[in-house]
Every structure is written in C-alpha cells, then in structure tokens.
Amino acid sequence: MTTQIFLFGTLRHDGLRAVVLGAEHVACGAVLPGSALIDRAGYPALVNNPDAQADGVLVVLDDATRARLDFYEGLFDYSRHIVTVLRDGTAVQAQIYLPAHSPQDICAPWSFSRWCARHADAAVMAAHEVFALRAVYDPEALKVRYPMLLAHAASHLRAARGAQPATLRGNWTRDDVVSQQRMQPYAYFFGVQVDDLTFQRFDGCASALIRRAGFVMSDAVTLLPYDPVLDLVLIIEQFRYGPYIRGDVNCWSLEPIAGRIDPGETPEEAALRETQEEARLVVRDDALIAVGAFYPSPGAISEYLYSYVALCDLSRENEGVSGLAAEAEDIRSHVIPFAQLMTLIDSGEVRNGPLIQSAYWLALNKARLGTG
C-alpha cells in the first residue's frame, strides 16, 4: 500500500528528506493554496491565508517509508491529515503532517533559503543521529533528546570550521584516531557516547585498543557584565544539580550569565539572548569582549565554552529574580563591586570555573577598559 504525502518547510530540503525517508523516492513540486508559512523560532508553521500558497513536494511512500516519516514527524508532535494540493495546476488529494494546534500569533514569513543557510547541515546530521538511536530508544525519549542532538550537531559543525593552531602541540587530525566501535548507552536530554578506539602515540605507533566514555553536550556561552565607570559586575545565583549529586551542603552557585548556543545562532547572539533571559539586561553587540574559548573538562565532556565580558551600565535596579519559566529557571541577579567578587573567589564562595576565569581576565585588563 502506498500513501501520497505533501511535504513542506524543512523537508523540501533534498538532503534532510533523503535521510528521513531512508529510501529512493521521487519528489514532485506542489503547492498548498490558502496557506502561508510563518517563522516560529526558525522553523515553519502553516497558517491560513487566502491570498497565499505554501510551496512543497509530493512523495508517494510505501508503508515502511511512511513509518519512518511518522516517527520523525512525531518528534515534533505532528500527525497526518487530509488536504487538497495543486500539482501543475491540478487538484490532488494528499496527506500532510500538522501539529495538534495551529499558531495564533502573528510572525514574520518563514524563509526556506535562510533556514538552509543557517540550519540545514545541522538538521541533516541530527536526523542521521536520531534514526541511529531509533532502534534502541523509545520515541518519547528521543523527542526529549532531539533538540540537544540538533545543538550538538551545530557544535560539531562549528568545531570543524574553527581555527586549529598547532605551534606547540602536534599537528594531529581526526584521522589519527580510529573508532572500532561506538555505542550510546544513554540518550535523554544529554547523552553518553562510548568509543572503543586507538589513537596515534607520540612514538608514531598506534595505541592499544582502549574504551573511552564521554558526556555529550553542546557549545555554550558565558557572559560577565561589567560597568567600567562604577567598577561593578553582575553575577547570578541559581540551584545547580552538579553540586547536589556531588554532596555539597549548599547547592546554589554564583556564576556568570550562561546558556547553550541554539542551532543557527552565533556565540555572540547566544550571549546577548541569555543576558536578556537570565538578567533582563540588554547589552549592545559591540560591547562584547571575548575572554576566551575552551573545553572546561576535555577528559570526559564535549562541552565547549565561549566566554565574554560585556561593558554596560549597571545599578542596583538590575538586581532581581528572572529566568525562563519553561525551563524551570529561578535565577537571582547580584550587582556588586568588582573587589567584592574577588573576595568571594578568595573565600571559596565562588566555585564556578568560567566566573573565576572571567574575573581574573578582568583584573588583568581593567586598565585598558578605562578603569584602574
């Protein structure tokens, strides 16, 4: 049995569609009259518009291929419905995947070309990953995992494009590491990856086969707002699970503003967004100063941090509690003198590595920023 399906939005992309369907197929251009695509956080959503039409493709799928598509669309809570589309001006009945609730808000038009430029490569990589995990994990677990798979894919691509200076370390490449077997024993919001691998030793020989396990995370940013006129900094306080599972008595941590880089974002864009979300503070993009980019714990964690200091005006009015309710964030902001921050570091009350690094960087660079 076959089913004719109209695919719009991201699945117009040939590479993504090929991964999702996992089989040879023919795609014919078609349109959905009376509908337009709006942008919902970078992704397309259909809305009624009698003066518009949404571009897409028609595919005819067998039951096995349609099951793959059902699984993939189910990750976004989409299900199949009947529509009438136009192919070469002729009305054709087809099925379409739609969410349970149509968006009601007014948004800008969604751009397929913009999505391709900013998101397509990561979406293709994430699709490969989610179908590899499909045989092991149930759809509900992968529904939670998918956004982080997408963020990790974007991080992977960012790493491949990044500068790779090698003036002291050897001029190694990924070809100097050979994975014989890869497993993912845990995949939920974060993931765990295990490789049985060999690597090139300093004596020129391959190492013995070893097993390494790592916590799979995505790139993130940290930002320390600094007022060079009043010599004030803004830091935040929030509950952290890491100190809790370690056994700390006090599991609330003093930190810089921080957060994950969303797929399609630059590190700078993420830093500005997180500053508004966590501290209700608007910072100009030209006020960002890079502190450094680094792996906080490269032995077992893939996370890579981009740290910034931001020059801005601060006052006690910037203090308060904020954060995203959707992420159960409960974040308190403190505006304090820079000298007090250094005292908190010396006493051990500040135990967050990126905050300590940014504070020490600021101590070394305050003179050139306009203060002593």
For residue 270, the number of C-alpha atoms closer than 13 Å in the C-beta half-sphere is 22
Q: Are 214 and 192 in contact (CB under 8 A)?
A: yes
Whether 24 has a pLDDT exceeding 60, the answer reads yes
Which pLDDT value is given to residue 207? 97
Q: DSSP of 89-149, one letter per residue?
A: TEEEEEEEEEESS---S--PBP-HHHHHHHTHHHHHHHHHHHHHHTTTS-HHHHHHHHHHH
Which helix (H) or strand (E) is 132 found in, with range? Answer: helix 120-133
Closest CA to 185 of 170, 173, 196, 201: 196
123/149 Cα distance (integer angstroms): 9
Closest CA to 104 of 42, 45, 41, 43: 45
The C-alpha R_g of the chain, in whole angstroms, comes to: 24
Which pLDDT value is given to residue 154? 96
Closest CA to 219 of 307, 300, 119, 291: 307
Whether 371 has a pLDDT exceeding 60, the answer reads no
The CATH class that applies to domain 220-369 reads alpha beta
Q: Are 317 and 270 in contact (CB under 8 A)?
A: no
Q: Are 368 and 233 in contact (CB under 8 A)?
A: no
**Mean pLDDT calculated for residue range 349-371:** 92
Which tokens is 205 given? 């020989």
Of 91-105, 155-169, 174-188, 194-208, least confident by mean pLDDT is 91-105
Burial of 354 by CB count in 10 Å (0-12 exposed, 13-18 middle, 19+ buried)? Answer: buried
Amino acid at 161: R
Which tokens is 37 given? 């695509």
Phi-psi category of 148—alpha, beta or left, where left has phi over 0 and alpha has psi -120 to 50?
Answer: alpha
How many helices and strands in the chain, by DSSP H and E?
9, 16
Instruction: Read off the pTM.
Output: 0.90
Whether 372 has a pLDDT exceeding 70, the answer reads no
CATH H superfamily, domain 2-118: Gamma-glutamyl cyclotransferase-like (3.10.490.10)
Closest CA to 94 of 83, 110, 105: 83
Whether 327 has a pLDDT exceeding 90, the answer reads no
pLDDT band at 105 (very low <50, low <70, confident <90, very high): low
119/110 Cα distance (integer angstroms): 13
Which pLDDT value is given to residue 326? 74
Separation of CA 308 from chain center: 18
**Mean pLDDT calculated for residue range 64-71:** 96
Of the chain, the end-to-end C-alpha distance in Å amounts to 76
Dihedral sign for Cα 20, 70, 45, 325, please: negative
96/84 Cα distance (integer angstroms): 9
Which tokens is 70 given? 């059902």
Q: DSSP of 202-253, one letter per residue?
A: TTSSBPPPEEEEEEE---EEEEEEEETTTTEEEEEEEE-HHHHHHT-S--EE
pLDDT band at 104 (very low <50, low <70, confident <90, very high): low
Separation of CA 335 from chain center: 29
6/98 Cα distance (integer angstroms): 11
Distant-in-sequence, close-in-space partners of 241: CB < 8 Å, separation ≥ 6? 251
248 backbone dihedrals φ, ψ, rounded to 5°: -60, 145
Domain boundaries, the chain: 2-118, 134-162+174-216, 220-369
pLDDT band at 138 (very low <50, low <70, confident <90, very high): very high
For residue 303, the number of C-alpha atoms closer than 13 Å in the C-beta half-sphere is 19
Which pLDDT value is given to residue 16? 97
Amino acid at 184: Q
Strands (E), 262-318: 288-294, 305-311
229/162 Cα distance (integer angstroms): 35
